[in-house]
Structure 1
């Protein structure tokens, strides 16, 4: 991501994690509050870049909470991410941009990745660290990419929410204007997280689903369903819903 460098540890940076060594790079600050004119221009530009145009590759932002409590699920996601590519390969093509946060104000994003082995290598280099959630940065990054490169869907996997819910919902609303659904996959039963995750999904036309801690089969179904949507759209998700519960859970909530 181009732009003026920010100081390490500042509250607004999403740093680029390039393979193979996850080097730091410059980043953009989070967007200022948008005027109606800003939003109109932003939507017009995004429509011109629409990922749903003929011949476009499917693009999915895959966002993970990498704080300390997430290590078991991070390892599970590493093992399952290839299933997303396999599902997408049966429908067309898929590029994935990994975004994750951990530690003290550390939030990073990879470039677009079209190979499951490359994504697995990157994820294998990342260890979870203690810290607070940074979901706002994830949503801001998804918004920037929706305008710059086109994004069909966002997947978020996490178990907590420690931010201002109204601020997160405002960012989700902008993704909703761009018709970028956010699939919020929650591990566990945190009630505060559930309330906000459900609202983010609703505002974007996406879906919220809970999976049990350590339930690889449940998460696999959800990730496959999200990949199917990103690669083939609603029709592909409807087709998959005939055979998997994960896809049926998503399509049942989407507008």
Structure 2
């Protein structure tokens, strides 16, 4: 386990080669197991509006994943003066909603490095299928983040970096983390709520059912799911 505290519920490689391995591996659904997805969120003060939005749409992610075999999610968030916490793994939509509803954004600097190190630590203890990161800033040395992101990429865990706003340094860093982990980068604007809902559902489908499930989901839904699949090809 990394140096991230547990929340008790109260308060650059070959992308084609990676995708080939994903297509060949049995999916969690086929094996009768749940996919596991880390949902990491910047909970510093600039994120308050989008945090509230996430409370309303996270249920869609569970619903979509359930259609291809289910999903367990671990919520990781940071805020304030060095606070960074992780929930238990849970398939419980209502429980995760209660946990998120009890969290309030606080001023502070980004802690993306701690999130990535935590993800690496979780992977050492059990399979992690994917990670979503949602944020609007990057205030850490990108070279340090790139080293850990490269290690995560070698573990086969795609990180999907979703950026709010147009901060140029954040975009550059987010794109590099996505590239090194064989994930994807997106920016959303005025239609953020709709796109975030679609993207969360698409990543959940991928985490629970693998590449083939995402292809099927994209063929049926299009939209952000198709964009996600296109970036992973």
Pair in the same fold by TM > 0.5:
yes
Aligned 1:188-227 pairs, distance under 5 A: 188-212=165-189, 215-227=192-204
2:3 is matched with 13
Mapped to 2, the partners of 1:51 and 1:62 lie a distance apart of 23
Give runs of ≥4 in structure 1 deviating > 2 Å: 50-56
Mapped to 1, the partners of 2:225 and 2:3 lie a distance apart of 34
1:244 is matched with 222
Change (3 A) 1:127 1:214: farther
Q: Give the drift of 1:52.
A: 4.8
Q: Using CA pairs under 8 Å that are at least 6 residues apart, name the structure with larger relative contact order, 1 or 2.
A: 2
Q: Unpaired segments of 5 or more residues in structure 1?
A: 2-11, 23-49
Mapped to 1, the partners of 2:7 and 2:125 lie a distance apart of 18
3-state SS of paired residue (1:236): helix
RMSD: 1.6
1:115-140: CA deviation from partner (whole Å, max 9, x where unpaired):
11000000000000000000001111
Q: Give the drift of 1:13.
A: 3.1
TM-score by length of 2: 0.89
Q: Give the drift of 1:55.
A: 2.9
Mapped to 1, the partners of 2:58 and 2:77 lie a distance apart of 14
Q: Unpaired segments of 5 or more residues in structure 2?
A: 12-24
Mapped to 2, the partners of 1:145 and 1:52 lie a distance apart of 19
Does the CA contact (< 8 Å) of 1:72 and 1:214 recur in 2?
no
Which structure's residues are more often helix, by fraction? 2
Does the CA contact (< 8 Å) of 1:51 and 1:58 recur in 2?
no
1:98-149: CA deviation from partner (whole Å, max 9, x where unpaired):
0000001110000101111000000000000000000001111111111102
Q: Give the drift of 1:188.
A: 1.1
TM-score by length of 1: 0.82
Q: Give the drift of 1:18.
A: 1.1
2:63 corresponds to 1:86: yes
Number of residue pairs matched?
Answer: 217
Mapped to 2, the partners of 1:237 and 1:51 lie a distance apart of 14
3-state SS of paired residue (2:107): coil
Change (3 A) 1:213 1:171: farther
1:194-222: CA deviation from partner (whole Å, max 9, x where unpaired):
11101111111100011115621011011
2:95 corresponds to 1:118: yes
3-state SS of paired residue (2:156): coil
